[in-house]
Structure 1
């Protein structure tokens, strides 16, 4: 169960970083794009983890 909370903490930290970067560099910056892609991948991992737990 620790893995789930670790993922949630990483997601929240990355969301905060993304928000700060978007305010600093603008929504169309390369930095924001890279962070957004990283967050998408992390969210996909999280939802896949939750899905696999529901069918196990």
Structure 2
């Protein structure tokens, strides 16, 4: 159960980072897209583990 909690924290941190980045960069910028892919990977890991 502890691993899921840690994963949830990482997901929330990445969401925050992506949200912040999207305010300062174009939504199709490489930076924002990279963060989006990272969030997708975290979410996929979470759903496979849950």
Which consecutive unaligned segments of at least 5 residues does structure 1 have?
51-56
Task: Provide TM-score, normalisation by structure 1.
Answer: 0.87
Structure with the greater relative contact order (CA < 8 A, sep ≥ 6): 1 or 2? 2
Which consecutive unaligned segments of at least 5 residues does structure 2 have?
none
Task: Provide TM-score, normalisation by structure 2.
Answer: 0.96
d(CA) in 2 for partners of 1:5, 1:28:
30
Runs of 4+, deviation exceeding 4 Å? none
Give the superposed CA RMSD: 0.5
Alignment size in residue pairs? 50
Give the structure with higher Rg (CA). 1
1:26 is displaced (CA, Å) by 1.8
